[in-house]
Structures are given as structure tokens and as C-alpha cells.
Amino acid sequence: MAVMKLYGSLLSTAMGRVVACLYEKGLDFEFIPVDMKSGEHKKEPFLSLNPFGQVPAFVDGDLKLFESRAITQYIAHEYADKGTPLVVPGKQMAIVSVWMEVEAHQYDQPAGKLVWELGYKPHFGMQPDNAVVEENEGKLGKVLDVYEARLSQSKYIGGDTFTLADLHHLPTLSYLMDTPAKKLIESRPKVSAWVTDITSRPAWCKAIEFRKQQ
Amino acid sequence: MAVMKLYGSPLSSAVWRVLASLYEKGLDFEFIPPFGQVPAFVDGDLKLFESRAITQYISHEYADKGTPLVVPGKQMAIVSVWMEVEAHQYDPLAGKLAWELGYKPHFGMQPDNAVVEENEGKLGKVLDVYEARLSQSKYIGGDTFTLADLHHLPTLSFLMDTPAKKLIESRPKVSAWVADITSRPAWCKVVEFRKQH
């Protein structure tokens, strides 16, 4: 059977989400780099893998997928019996699902904007926009206050065990911890302990190594 | 067993998303006006929020009732892709247009024409992808109506009552799809509900 293929760029947080998932599951895959600098992702043949021209794209046999959170959910269900369980049975999954939506709709926007301003821009020799940084630090702070309360009742964000709800946060959290915005995390004890826990998972450490080696 | 409770504002498109799934499933529920972030949902001792988590819970828990809103096997991965597309590619743009052209006039405010123009341009590009997709697939996630289609209903419905409807009407496959899904009996019930509250 053909090995799974993951198309993308190592700088991409969305790509990191899928790599983390594949490593948690102990699955083999082939990484096919997409040259975003030359606009490869906006042209054919990449557009036939993702018509929105974004990374990552994923192929498993004759199944072609895009959108990182659809890919991770597919992997988590299709390979449920391999490696770390990333979904849970029964009604508990509804709670995990709530916090997956929270990551996508409440957390990711302000976190993503901060990663862009404080992480990517300096990397490309650009100046951060301080007004945008301040606004999004304020917004992210309010979201993390909710997380602080949640993590006082629950070991992981979706419940008692590590699931996709935690995993989906890893790429942006990891980037933020290398920027001044880390103060938002460090000033909240439960959030801080949770971030330390999930970013030290062997599969995430492997994902970071993978990024460095390419 | 206690009846399910939906907490929310009758004005909220996220509330309508949940209503659509409850009506598709023919499920009884109690509607309770505003409470914190809308919507919130209670089924027995399970408390949920985020409309797309609620609709997914309803679809799986009540899989055998009313309209099937999820599909078995690997096909669900494709439905899942287009659910993510709705949430990440479509909704931020459609939501801004619904706010500028739908809600603002309702509250006596003027739309910001620059924001409208920018988001109409971006939404047009997304709908070009939908036009290509719907040339290969009857519904957005595959051959049958699923959550991937349903999640679009509230904002689509809003947009069809504004000048932005031209973005839909100018694309034949998208237009036919919108006409199809907005004429579903369960969606018509949501529109009725909205009028009565």
C-alpha cells in the first residue's frame, strides 16, 4: 500500500498540526515540500490537491484531503488503533469537539496574528505592527482566562486525556513561547503547566526536530 | 428524560445553525432566550457551546433520527474537509458581509462600503471554488445533504436578502445549490421560527 503523502511547508503552523498527529500515531509518511516563495501553492498541479491554494494537502491512497483539522480528524479516526488515541468514545467526544471549535474560532485568530507579527515577520526581516500586537495580546489574554478556568477543572483542554483538542494548539503555542507574547502563558499557572506538558510530548519534540532537519 | 435545551438569541446565525440540525432530525427541544455566549445547549448532563460542536453532537447522537447529516466510512473525511472550508474560508467573509449588509441596516447603521467591496471580492473567489466543486458533486460534501451544506444555511440565507446575492446568482451551480438547500422543509421551519421571535 502506498505511503501517505503530506504536501506543505515546514514553516506552516497548519502543516505542524498534521505532522504532530502523524507522529502521535507513529505513522510513516512522505513529505513533499511546496515552494511557497515561488507561489507553487497557487498554481497547478498543487491546486488540484487544494483548490484554495493553501498548505498542507494530504493523500492517503485515493483519498485527497486538505484543511489541517479535517486531515487530523481523518487520521485520528482511520488509525484509531495506532499510537496515541486522539479521539474519545461516546458523549465525551462532544466535549472534545467543543474545545476543538474553541481552538479554531476563539484561540487561533488572535494567536495566529501574534505568530505572524512576532514570529514570521522578524524571520522575513519585517517590523511587527505594535497596534496589531497589542490588540491581539488583549484578545488572546481574555481567551486564555477562559482556558485557565477550564484547566482548573480538567487536566487537558478536552477532558482527562490528551486529544486533538490539545494537539491543534501545538504549532501556534510553540511559536508564541519563542516570542514576547509568552508572558500571556507564563502569567497563567494552569495554562503554563498545560503548555509545558503538551509541548514536551515526544511526538511534538520529533515534529520540531523534523522541521529543523529539512 | 429531560428535553434538550437551546439557549440563544433568535437573531443569531449560529443559533439558526443548531435549529436547522434539530429540525432536520425532527427532535423536540426547548428554546430559552439569551445566556452568555450564544448558543449554549444542554442535553441531560451534557453542556455544550460552539454551534458546529453542537450540530456534530446532534448528528452523531441522533444518527438514526430524521435526515442523516453525516456519512459512514472514508466519505466522512471529504465531508469534514468541506466543513472546515465553511468554517475557515467561507464564514469569515460571509459573516462580515452579513454584518455589514444584513445586521447593520437592521440596527439603523450604515454599511462600510470598503469592507463590503473587499469581502465581496474575497467571497467571489471562494465561490469560484464552490462552482467548480458543485460541478462534480451534487452537494458540497458529496452526493447527499450533510452538515457541510447545513452549516452554510444561516449566512447564505442572510446574503440572499442583500445586494451580495449577486455573488450567488452569477454562479449557476452555486445558485442551484443555494436554491435547493434553502428550500428544505427544516430550513423553512427555522425561517418561520425567526419570524415568530
- The pLDDT tens digits for A137-192 are 999 999 999 999 999 999 999 999 999 999 999 999 999 999 999 999 999 999 99
CA dist A20 and A173 (Å) reads 13
The order of strands in the sheet holding A57-60 is A29-33, A4-8, A57-60, A63-66
Asked if residue B35 has pLDDT above 90, the reply is: no
CA dist B95 and B71 (Å) reads 27
Nearest to B53 among A63, A91, A98 (CB): A98
Domain A91-201, classified CATH 1.20.1050.10, yes or no: yes
Backbone φ/ψ region at A44: left (φ over 0), alpha (ψ -120 to 50), beta: beta
Nearest-CA distance from A105 to chain B in Å?
A: 8
pTM: 0.94
Cβ–Cβ < 8 Å for A159, A86: no
**Residue B196 binned pLDDT confidence (cut-offs 50, 70, 90):** confident
CATH number for the segment(s) B4-68: 3.40.30.10
Cα-Cα-Cα-Cα dihedral of B122, B124, B128, B133, to 10°? 90
Residue whose grid cell is 501553492? A41
User: What residue spans in chain A does CATH classification 1.20.1050.10 cover?
Assistant: 91-201
Residue B36: the pLDDT is 55
Best probe of the A interface among B54, B79, B84, by most A CBs < 10 A, is: B84
Which of B103, B106, B64, B87 is closest to B17 using CA atoms?
B87
CB–CB of A70 and B53 under 8 A?
no
User: What residue spans in chain B does CATH classification 1.20.1050.10 cover?
Assistant: 74-185
Neighbours of A174 (CB within 10 A): 21
Could you report the per-residue pLDDT of A55-97, keeping only the tens digit for each? 999 999 999 999 999 999 999 999 999 999 999 999 999 999 9
CB–CB of B87 and A105 under 8 A?
yes
* Residue in chain A lying closest to B58 (CA): A94
Chain A residues with CB under 8 Å of B136 CB are: none
The order of strands in the sheet holding B46-49 is B29-32, B4-7, B40-43, B46-49
Chain B residues with CB under 8 Å of A90 CB are: none
Indicate the CATH number of A5-85 among 3.30.360.10, 3.40.50.10860, 3.40.640.10, 3.40.30.10. Answer: 3.40.30.10
Residue B194: the pLDDT is 86
Chain A residues with CB under 8 Å of B133 CB are: 51
User: What residue spans in chain B does CATH classification 3.40.30.10 cover?
Assistant: 4-68
Nearest to B50 among A70, A91, A101 (CB): A101
A74 in contact with B, Cβ within 8 Å: yes
Residue B37: the pLDDT is 58
Chain A residues with CB under 8 Å of B49 CB are: 98
DSSP state letters, A71-109: HHHHHHHHTTTSSS--S-STTHHHHHHHHHHHIIIIIHH
Which of B67, B64, B62, B60 is closest to B20 using CA atoms?
B67
User: What residue spans in chain A does CATH classification 3.40.30.10 cover?
Assistant: 5-85
Chain B residues with CB under 8 Å of A73 CB are: 77, 80
The chain-wide mean pLDDT, for chain A, equals 96
CATH number for the segment(s) B74-185: 1.20.1050.10
Percentage of the residues of chain B whose pLDDT score is greater than 90: 85
Asked if residue B71 has pLDDT above 90, the reply is: yes
Q: Give the dihedral sign, CA A58/A60/A64/A70.
A: negative
Locate A123 and state its grid cell: 524571520
